[in-house]
Every structure is written in structure tokens, then in C-alpha cells.
Amino acid sequence: MLERLDAAGAVELGFLNMAEFAAGPTGHNVHFGHCRNPWDQSRVTGGSASGSGASVAARMVYGSLGSDTGGSIRLPAAACGVVGMKATYGLVSRHGAAARSWSLDHVGPLTRTARDNARMLTAIAGHDINDSTTSPRAVPDYEAGIDGGVRGLKIGPALPKDGLAPLDAEVGAAV
């Protein structure tokens, strides 16, 4: 992944703090110090990719990487007000990342904007001979996909009229 970012022109600035063993939802680390939310230091950054979320939110970097098994990209993104992507399984290589759960582990970007996230995802996605779970499919230009907006896109499949499961009529009408 870092090689792909290097090839795309990224500049690595250093290592970031995170929850110990990538196992904490707050971002606290008793050994190296707690990460601080740049918007309000009395609030948590979310974890485990706390340093990634905080550094992007503080505008120290345009983007950072995180690993996500149970929320470790998504929690810091939400707590720090940045964009986090837990990509489709197999889209981004996990080679070099410490494994917690092979079926749930993902690596993905945290960025300031959706466009930056798409740009970074395009750079890091793709087949990796060092990770047999990565997809051999060509990587689309995710950033180009942003320009069309969301009008007309579907966020889920249409259910048959009889449904796959019982559905409250009020919920069905709202959907």
C-alpha cells in the first residue's frame, strides 16, 4: 500500500498514535499517550485509527491510512469530522497489516473530503500478489465517479413486492 501511495506521489510524514492492539473505540493509549480530538480536546478521537483521524481533522495531512475490523476507520472519521472508507473486502491489500480477523480486516483511507478519499482509494486499491484475497479486477477512477453526483444512483437493491422479510408499512413507505 505504501508503495502504491509513493508511486502516486504521496509524501510520508511519519507514524501516528492509535489504540493499543488496534482494539479500542476511544483512541486512548496508556503507553504512548491519548490521542486528542482537534475540535475539542475533551472529546475522544475514536479508535483505533485515532491518530489518522486526528491528523487529518487537524489539517496536518490531506489523508492517512487506517485499518478497520470493527469500526477503526469509521469511528475516528465520525468523531473527528473527516471522511473514512472501509472499502469492499478485497479492494485494498492488507499485506503488512497486523491481522485481527482475516474475514473482517480492511485497510482504507481517512481524508478531508470525499474527493480526496476517492483519489487515495484509487491509488491504494487493486490486486496485490502478497494478499491472495485482493480482487484481480481493474480499479476504476473513483474520483471521476464523483463528478456525476448521486442523482439516479441506488443505495440498495429494490425488494420484491412481497419482500424478503416482514416490513412495517410505514417503513416501507418511507423507503
User: What is the Cα–Cα distance from 97 to 124, expressed in whole angstroms?
Assistant: 14
pLDDT score of 160: 66
Question: Is residue 107 within 8 Å of 97, Cβ to Cβ?
Answer: yes
Extract the residue ranges of the chain whose pLDDT is less than 70. Answer: 157-164
pLDDT score of 19: 80
User: What is the Cα–Cα distance from 24 to 71, expressed in whole angstroms?
Assistant: 10
pLDDT score of 152: 81
For the chain, give every domain's residue range: 1-175
User: What is the Cα–Cα distance from 1 to 99, expressed in whole angstroms?
Assistant: 15
Q: What is the pLDDT of residues 68-108, one digit of tens each?
A: 998 999 999 999 999 999 999 999 999 988 888 888 899 99
Q: Cα(first)–Cα(last) distance of the chain, in Å?
A: 38
pLDDT score of 56: 96
Helix, strand, coil tally for the chain in percent (to 5): 25, 10, 65
- Beta-ladder partners of 110: 64, 84
CA 47, 51, 55 angle in degrees (round to 5)? Answer: 130
79: phi then psi, degrees, rounded to nearest 5: -70, -30
37: phi then psi, degrees, rounded to nearest 5: -70, 125
User: 1-175 maps to which CATH number?
Assistant: 3.90.1300.10
